Each structure stands twice: as C-alpha cells, then as structure tokens.
Structure 1
Amino acid sequence: MSNLFSAFDPSTNIFNISLNWISTFIGMMMIPSMFWLTSSRSVQVWNKINSTLHKELKVLIGNKSPNGKTMLFISMMIMFMMNNFMGLFPYIFTSSSHFMMTFSIALPMWVSFMLFGWINNTKHMFTHLVPLNTPTPLMSFMVLIETISNLIRPGTLTVRMTANMIAGHLLLTLMGNTGSVMSTSLILIILTSQILLLSLESMVALIQAYVFSILSILYSKETY
C-alpha cells in the first residue's frame, strides 16, 4: 500500500480484469429462486425478512404513499447491507464505502423526490421551507437555512455511509499492520481487539444500511 487509504482504492487489476466491483453483484447471485414447487428455508427466510421490513417501513411511509413503494427501500437496504457485510471479508473491496456508488444512488433518488414534490405538491413543499410557529422576522432566514439543508441531503447521505464504513476498516487495517513488530502478548491483545471491533463493524454494516433507507423514506415523505 502506498498510503493508508489505498486499501479503499478500486484500482487493483488481476489478469487485466477489475475484480473490486464484483463483490457488489455477489449478493444478486445468492438470491433464491422463486420458481420452486416447495419453498426452501432460504426462501422462507427472505419472505420473513421482506414482510418484517415492509411492516416497519410502511409505518414510516404512511397510507398516502403509492403501493409497492416499500419495495424500493427494502431492496436498497438489502443491497447496502450485503455490500457492507461483504467488505468485512479479507481482500474484498467494500463498494458501499466509495463515493461513486453511494452518491450515484442518493442523488438520483433525491432529485426524483424533489421533482415529484415541486411538480405535484408545490404548496406543500413551500410550507416545509418555513417551520411552524416561526417568528415573522426570521422567516426569510429560515427559508435560506431549509433550502441549504435540502440541497446538501444527497451529500450527507453519501458522507454518512462512506465515513462510517471507512472508519472501522481503516482502524482494522492500522491494528493489523502493527502486528509484525509487536511481542506475542501484545499481538493477543490486538487480536482480541480486532475481533471485538469486527463484531462492532458487523452491527455498523446493518445499522448504516437501515439509516440510509430510513432517511430516504423521511425525505420522500416530505414530498406528499
């Protein structure tokens, strides 16, 4: 590695084939077939996960949303969760920690929400620019703040996911690189710390996928 951040650089080639982004599509290969005569346990687990997430997200979205809208956020959550977990394995590039992937999802989704809201519910969108019970002298100032807050939402979604995924991986890399120059007792301490940190990263991988989807739902809810 030329520097600490080169581990997150998707530029490694093997036999002139870029393998870093292949981990993004491995989860699609693991999706069970829905054409079996009898549902397998894996199909039942997927159905249980989808139904549970649908109930949780439907509460946030509300009854005014169109049918099937939860499937968009469920699929996005599962995709991020799989990519985050895949990045915990050795020699697998964490595609969800790269700006190019997270921003390419957050920006089109935010633009579609804004276009839908301003075209179909213009008055409703204007009301969000001025919070309830705002004093009259502060109204113009609040409009400016709310406008800036809306404009930076794709960036905040991207930075939140990328920073949280890189931070834990970078710490694991730093701890792993120091093992060759330490004594046996210190290596055991570092190994125990890495195991605990890896457990924490597993929870972070799930939480960040959930947070990304929940925030996207809350942003979409403001448009109708």
Structure 2
Amino acid sequence: MMTNLFSSFDPGTMYNLSLNWMSTFLGLLMIPTMYWLIPSRMNFLWIKICLTLHKEFKILLGNKIKGSTLMFISLFSMILFNNFLGLFPYIFTSTSHLTLTLTLALPLWLSFMIYGWINNTTHMLAHLVPQGTPPILMPFMVCIESISNIIRPGTLAVRLAANMIAGHLLMTLLGNTGPMLSMMMINILIIIQLLLLLLESAVAIIQSYVFAILSTLYSSEVN
C-alpha cells in the first residue's frame, strides 16, 4: 500500500534481501558481449563453427539458392542451445519432446516435398527407382522408396528426442540410487555421473549436427 505519491520509488525488498541493484544487473546482462571485448574467444569459436558448417552445407546444397545455408545453421544453433539448456538442473529439455522435434522436422520435409514435386516432378519420380534396378523389381522399389521418404520427418524427430531422453533418463535413474549407497559408492557414482554429463554434452552437439546435416541432404535431393 502506498503511503504517499513517492512510495512507488522505494526500493523493493524480498526475503530480507535488497533488490536495489537487480534492475542494473539485468540491464548489464542484456548488453551484448561484443561491447565488452571485441572480438572475444567465444566470438572466434562461434564464427569458426558457423563458417565450417557453411562450407559443409554449401558443398551439399551448391550455389543454386544464395544464403540457403543460413537456415540450416540457424536450425543447428537452435537445437544445440536447447540441448545444452537441458543439461542444467531443473530445466526441461524441450528437444526431448516430440512436439518440438516434429514441429521442426515436418514443415521442413513438407516444404521440400512440395517444392520438389511442383518444380522437379521428373527428378522426384526418378528418385523412386534407383539406377540399375531390374524391371521386375521396380514396383517393389517404388513402394520401398516411397515409404522411406514418408517416414523421414518421423525418423528425424524420434532420433533427436530419443537420444535426448535416453541420457537424461540414465542419469536420473543412477542419481536416485544415491541415498541408498555407502560413501565409497557415492564417490564412484559422482564420477560416473560426471562422465555421463560429458557424454551428454557430446550427444547434444552430435544430435544437433545430425539433424541439420540430414535436413540439408533431404533438401539437396529435391534440386
């Protein structure tokens, strides 16, 4: 309750902690790092990663559409950040849920298919029958290739979600056994958990790269 007109300018407190400087710190956090140190090591590392990915995607996509690699680099970055956020305690890993992974994979695949079938219909039909297939096997090959093409968004989504869930589930199950173990076993458990955390960090990078590179491969087949 305001005692006078100027009470709205009083510093707010909570749990006996002064929050006077909170707005100042939040403001500083919003300032990009480039204003503090140009260029930082993090900038160098991220630029190097983006350039390496750009070169790889450019080989697969060619020079048909300028700037097409940026979409896949952005996709890689988004999945990577979400994967790493999930490694922190009490943060839900959004990429372990099919609602997010399918939302990413399905529109990508659908847009490639619509573009390919409208603009390169002959090329898309030729993809259904691999070269050197005997005439008697052609109907079966068309069915197999059609099914493998249709399940692509599902495999992209399930691969990412399953890999994210598997590691987190293993770490959770091992962590729940902690209260029942002796001191010696707890020390061993902590070492195992740290190694699993390192493995999960590698999986987070690999799965984001796999998702991006497979999306690039699927799009390169359309042209």
Amino acid in the other structure paired with 1:61: L
- Deviation of residue 31 (structure 1)? 9.9
Task: Tell me if structure 2 keeps the 8 A contact 1:107–1:154.
Answer: yes
Structure whose alpha-carbon radius of gyration is higher: 2
- Deviation of residue 49 (structure 1)? 2.6
Q: Secondary structure at the match of 1:133?
A: coil
The CA RMSD over aligned residues, in Å, is 2.0
Equivalent-residue separation in structure 2 for 1:163 and 1:101 (angstroms): 13
The answer as to 2:62 corresponding to 1:52 is no
Equivalent-residue separation in structure 2 for 1:139 and 1:51 (angstroms): 42
Tell me what 1:5 maps to: none
Equivalent-residue separation in structure 1 for 2:142 and 2:133 (angstroms): 10
- Deviation of residue 85 (structure 1)? 0.7
Equivalent-residue separation in structure 1 for 2:43 and 2:210 (angstroms): 25
Amino acid in the other structure paired with 2:191: T
Tell me what 2:197 maps to: 198
Equivalent-residue separation in structure 2 for 1:203 and 1:79 (angstroms): 16
Equivalent-residue separation in structure 1 for 2:129 and 2:31 (angstroms): 45
Percentage of identical aligned residues: 59
Equivalent-residue separation in structure 2 for 1:52 and 1:190 (angstroms): 37
Unaligned stretches of 5+ in structure 1? 1-28
- Deviation of residue 55 (structure 1)? 1.1
TM-score normalised per structure 1: 0.81
- Deviation of residue 57 (structure 1)? 1.5
Q: Which runs of 4+ in 1 moved over 6 A?
A: none
- Deviation of residue 185 (structure 1)? 1.2
Task: Tell me if structure 2 keeps the 8 A contact 1:118–1:125.
Answer: yes
Q: Secondary structure at the match of 1:222?
A: helix
C-alpha distance 116-32 of structure 1, shift in aligned 2 (>3 A): farther
Q: Where do residues 15-94 of structure 1 align in structure 2 (5 Å cutoff)?
A: 32=32, 39-41=38-40, 42-63=42-63, 65-94=64-93
- Deviation of residue 45 (structure 1)? 3.8
Equivalent-residue separation in structure 1 for 2:173 and 2:146 (angstroms): 40
Equivalent-residue separation in structure 2 for 1:207 and 1:46 (angstroms): 16
Amino acid in the other structure paired with 1:52: T
Task: Tell me if structure 2 keeps the 8 A contact 1:32–1:43.
Answer: no
Equivalent-residue separation in structure 1 for 2:192 and 2:37 (angstroms): 44
- Deviation of residue 90 (structure 1)? 0.4
C-alpha distance 192-119 of structure 1, shift in aligned 2 (>3 A): same
Q: Secondary structure at the match of 1:163?
A: helix
Q: Where do residues 1-224 of structure 1 align in structure 2 (5 Å cutoff)?
A: 32=32, 39-41=38-40, 42-63=42-63, 65-224=64-223
Equivalent-residue separation in structure 1 for 2:189 and 2:68 (angstroms): 45
- Deviation of residue 47 (structure 1)? 2.8
Amino acid in the other structure paired with 2:135: T
- Deviation of residue 30 (structure 1)? 8.1
Question: Number of paired residues?
Answer: 194
Equivalent-residue separation in structure 1 for 2:32 and 2:44 (angstroms): 10
Cα displacement string for residues 152-178 of structure 1 (whole angstroms, at most 9, x for unaligned residues): 111000000000000000000000000
Cα displacement string for residues 49-108 of structure 1 (whole angstroms, at most 9, x for unaligned residues): 322221122112223x30100000000001101110110110011011110001001000
Q: Please identify, of 137-146 and 185-194, the stretch whose mean Cα deviation from structure 2 is larger.
A: 185-194
Amino acid in the other structure paired with 2:84: F
Cα displacement string for residues 99-140 of structure 1 (whole angstroms, at most 9, x for unaligned residues): 000100100010000001000000000010001101111000
Equivalent-residue separation in structure 2 for 1:31 and 1:85 (angstroms): 22
